[in-house]
Structure 1
Amino acid sequence: MVKKKIEDIVAEIAEPIVERHSFELVDVEFIKEGTNWYLRIYIDKPGGITIDDCQIVSEEISDILDEKDPIEQSYFLEVSSPGLDRPLKKDSDFEKFKGELVEVKVYKPIDGRKIFEGELVGLIDGKIVIKIDDRNVEFERAQVALVRRVIKF
């Protein structure tokens, strides 16, 4: 049996809580920064997440995490909005943000570049497709380190 990652376990716990409040679970990350561990849960809703929304979800998730205790080490729990320039990870993100300007960062250079910016065409046949200068550019998911929205003010 494959051991589940902490992020997957927490996502299973968080999803019903987040959905009950009509929010979207955007991402869960469990990372070490310095000597401390952080469990970060990112939530969103149309119109944006408020501090009160984060507090409600944080309290409910905290209670269940205390009860189930799936994480051995101590950590800080943070529930927040993913921000305007949120990374696109789920298939639904690529549908939701079609037509918007995105930045694609790849692990290894392609034609001497590691960063590409263009209009998100979508996720087509498992490939991330963006339009740059009137031509579509495709990226295999395995070669992509990050896709995020570009916000220009």
Structure 2
Amino acid sequence: MADIAALTKLIEPHATAMGLRLVRVAMFGGKSDPTLQIMAERPDTRQLVIEDCAELSRRISDTLDEVDPIEEAYRLEVSSPGIDRPLTRISDYDDWAGFDARLRLSETIEGRKQVDGRIGGLDGDTVLITTPKTRETLRIPFTSIASGKLLLTDALIKATAPLSTEGVDTISQER
């Protein structure tokens, strides 16, 4: 499987040169149908338009063709993070405080491997999340979060209404 840290180092300069911020670099699909997924956004809008996807895809493609860091054939997908975006950086938990999220934990914490609740921001390197049933605020070390994502709610839809509804926000191509 591909080295995600090495791929990120190849991709990030292209995103930065375009004024974009990487949200996630990941490989999915296994050996039968591997996909290299690149999620990026404009820091000021948290969105990506089709032209951004296309340009970033072209830039990345040239570098990936030159360096050839992935042995098998794969699909390259460049997209916005979408409304129910993944929470991949510690800063995401401050940026999205007040919204609902689902956290999958890499270890059991207080008898849980998954927590759904309202993000309360950060306390140092600890994510605060309040569960809806018990209204208790759990303290989850960022390093204990295997994955996190926002949950689709009316409040999230309102807060992330697109600046423009033109175009599509995903480009996919066979490699």
* Partner in structure 1 of residue 38 of structure 2: 41
Partner SS state of residue 48, structure 1: coil
Which protein has greater RCO, CA pairs closer than 8 Å, 6+ apart? 2
Deviations 1:7-64 (A, max 9, x none): 1112111111111111111010123346122111111121521122111100011001
Q: Distance in 1 between matches of 2:21 and 2:143?
A: 25
**Deviation of the 1:142 alpha carbon:** 4.7
1:54 equivalenced with 2:34 (yes/no): no
After TM superposition, the score normalised by the length of structure 1 is: 0.82
Who is 2:139 aligned against?
Answer: 138
Residue by residue over 1:89-141, the C-alpha shift from the partner in whole angstroms, topping out at 9 and shown as x without a partner, is 11221221122222223356656654432221223232221123654211234
Tell me which residue corresponds to 1:85: 84
Cα–Cα, structure 1 residues 146 and 17, in superposed 2: closer, same or farther, change >3 Å?
same
Is the counterpart of residue 96 in structure 1 residue 95 in structure 2? yes
Contact 1:103 1:149 in 2 (8 A): yes
In 2, Cα distance between the equivalents of 1:117 and 1:9? 32
**Aligned positions of 1:16-31 closer than 5 A:** 16-31=13-28
Q: Given the two structures, how large is their TM-score scaled by the length of structure 2? A: 0.73
Question: Structure 1: 5+ residue runs without aligned partners?
Answer: none
Q: In structure 2, do the counterparts of structure 1 residues 47 and 143 end up closer, same or farther at CA, with 3 Å as the change threshold?
A: closer
The number of residue pairs the alignment matches comes to 149
**What is the percent sequence identity of the aligned residues?**
30
Report the RMSD for the aligned CA atoms in angstroms: 2.3
The structure where strand makes up a greater share of residues is 1
Question: Are residues 11 and 34 of structure 1, via their aligned partners in 2, closer, same or farther at CA, if it must alter by over 3 Å?
Answer: closer
Unpaired runs of 5+ residues, structure 2, are 155-175
